[in-house]
Amino acid sequence: MSSCNCASIHVHKPAETKVPVEEVMALFEKPFGDLLFEAQTVHRQHFDPNKIQLSTLLSIKTGGCPEDCGYCPQSKRHPGAVEDEPMLDIDAVLTAARAAKQAGATRFCMGAAWRGPKQRDLDPVLEMVRGVKALGLETCCTLGMLREGQAEQLKEAGLDYYNHNLDTAPEFYGEIISTRDYEDRLDTLNKVRGAGINVCAGGIVGMGESRTQRAGLLAQLASLNPPPESVPINLLVQVEGTPLAGTEALDPIEFVRTIAVARILMPASHVRLSAGRQQMSDAVQALCFLAGANSIFYGDKLLTTGNPEWERDRLLFDKLGLIPA
């Protein structure tokens, strides 16, 4: 947690958002057709609506995480936890990166189930970043909380993006995670920004939050200054044996609304239709693209759970006339 010098006893709260939650709620409450029209209009002012950015994920260190994120199968605290595996070696990472490039991805994102990297963890990751960059791919890492100086080392190695999600609204956050707080997340995002790395920050919906809390998450993201370059919107992937398994599923139309509101609030950012696509019909995905999503995770695995096969996505792009870019 970040320190401060105040003498009085107080509770740390994230700063008031510059984008009022009420304004975000007003967008959520628009008639669906009007909301999608506004999102499409904004999308077309900033992007070619037929282009889609493709990022491939690889879990470079799976399982055994000490954190207690209620959605995550990699927390060793949950009965449904995946096995704790050692870090992949550089050859395995580069083989996966070459395959991703061959399949058409432009960015390769390396994820680790850490609270944050120790220096002995970071050194091999820096080598991976250099190697992936040398293949001509954009590089992204998601390694948890960063300490002083680590973002600079990643930047120096050639890191283009760092993913660190706010996950949900500040007022719902404590129901999902207890081992790190909201300010820790904002602090890591500041370090990333300060080192000159592009920020990738989003969250998860379908965790039992209210619409106001979904609006609260988007208000926080849109209040970052500048807003994140990349905004992953994940639909909770429910994994048996994690605390959030069995949560009532989010209505798909509400999910599409969330994408549309993210697009309107962060007009120049890439909005990524992230986890949850495997469970989604082509029609719902098409609505998400109409609502302004212009990036996806591409490849048959996310970190530990499934994602549509490359072939299924290519068929979808053909059906919709989407061009990977």
Least separation in angstroms between CB 67 and ligand SAM: 7
Q: According to the binding rule CB under 6 A, does residue 304 interact with ligand DTB?
A: yes
Residue choice 113, 221, 250, 296 for contact with ligand SF4 (CB under 6 A) = 113
Backbone angles phi, psi at 307, to 5 degrees: -145, 155
The answer to whether 50 and 292 have CB atoms below 8 angstroms apart is no
Q: State which amino acid sits at residue 248.
A: E
Residues 239-252 as b or e (16 or more Cβ within 10 Å = b) = beebbbbebeebeb
- φ/ψ region of 241 (left if φ > 0, alpha if ψ in -120 to 50, else beta) reads left
Q: According to the binding rule CB under 6 A, does residue 65 interact with ligand SF4?
A: yes
Instruction: Work out the burial of residue 22: count CB atoms within 10 Å of its CB; fewer than 13 is exposed, 13-18 middle, 19 or more buried.
Output: exposed
Reference 197, options 150, 264, 237; nearest CA is 150
Say how many residues touch ligand SF4, by CB under 6 A. Answer: 9
4, 6, 44, 72: the catalytic one is: 72
Query: What residues numbered 226-255 form the site for ligand DTB, per CB under 6 A?
Result: 232, 234, 237
Could you tell me which stretch among 32-40, 67-75, 260-268, 306-314 binds ligand SF4 (CB under 6 A)? 67-75
- Where along the sequence are the contacts to ligand SAM (CB under 6 A)? 71-72, 74, 111, 113-114, 142, 144, 164-165, 167, 204, 234, 236-237, 239, 275, 303
Radius of gyration of the chain (CA): 19
Copy the structure tokens of residue 322.
Answer: 């989407």
Q: According to the binding rule CB under 6 A, does residue 139 interact with ligand SF4?
A: no
Q: According to the binding rule CB under 6 A, does residue 75 interact with ligand SF4?
A: yes
- Does the annotation count 140 as an active-site position? yes
Q: According to the binding rule CB under 6 A, does residue 111 interact with ligand DTB?
A: yes
| Residue 160 to residue 120: CA distance in whole angstroms | 21
174 or 306: CB nearest ligand DTB: 306
State the residue for tokens 């995670």. 177
Q: According to the binding rule CB under 6 A, does residue 72 interact with ligand SF4?
A: yes
Look up residue 204 and give its DSSP letter. Answer: E
107, 200, 257, 263: the catalytic one is: 200
Which spans of this chain sit near ligand DTB (rule: CB under 6 A)? 57, 73, 111, 142, 163, 165, 202, 232, 234, 237, 274-275, 302-305
